[in-house]
Amino acid sequence: MTWLLLAGAIVLEVAGTMSLRASEGFRKPVWIAPVIGAYLVSFTLLFLCLENGMPVGVAYGVWAASGVALTAILARILFKEPFTWVMGLGVVAIAAGVLLIELGSH
């Protein structure tokens, strides 16, 4: 259950970030509610994840790292932003770091 809460927090944080990008600096007000809502629910799910006993280092590490990687990939797909091979190496490094954090917590 804790990992599902964390997955939901990650998905909503990325959705909030993509909505923030789509708002073009809040010049498109239709995106304000999705940005605020997604971030509020994301932090609530992260809180619940911690409340259910997941160590903060693991929860925040996985949440932040996954958010960075997914945001970079989705920004390429949705907004045609650059995604270079160096950025790809960064995503791989993030994934390796998250794995090490999880393995080290046991």
DSSP string, 77-97: HHH-----HHHHHHHHHHHHH
Distance (Å, whole) CA 38 – CA 78: 18
Distance (Å, whole) CA 20 – CA 79: 12
Contact criterion met (CB below 8 Å) for 61 and 98: yes
Give me the domain span that covers residue 40: 2-104
Residue with the two structure tokens 């997941």: 54
Cα radius of gyration rounded to whole Å, the chain: 15
Instruction: Report the pLDDT value the prediction gives residue 85, as an integer from 0 to 100.
Output: 93
Instruction: Report the pLDDT value the prediction gives residue 96, as an integer from 0 to 100.
Output: 87
Distance (Å, whole) CA 33 – CA 96: 34
Tally of structural domains, the chain: 1
Element (H, E) at 61: helix 56-79
Instruction: Report the pLDDT value the prediction gives residue 23, as an integer from 0 to 100.
Output: 92
Query: pTM of the prediction?
Result: 0.87
Contact criterion met (CB below 8 Å) for 83 and 29: no
Instruction: Report the pLDDT value the prediction gives residue 41, as an integer from 0 to 100.
Output: 98
Spans of the chain, pLDDT less than 70: none
Instruction: Report the pLDDT value the prediction gives residue 44, as an integer from 0 to 100.
Output: 97
Instruction: Report the pLDDT value the prediction gives residue 46, as an integer from 0 to 100.
Output: 97
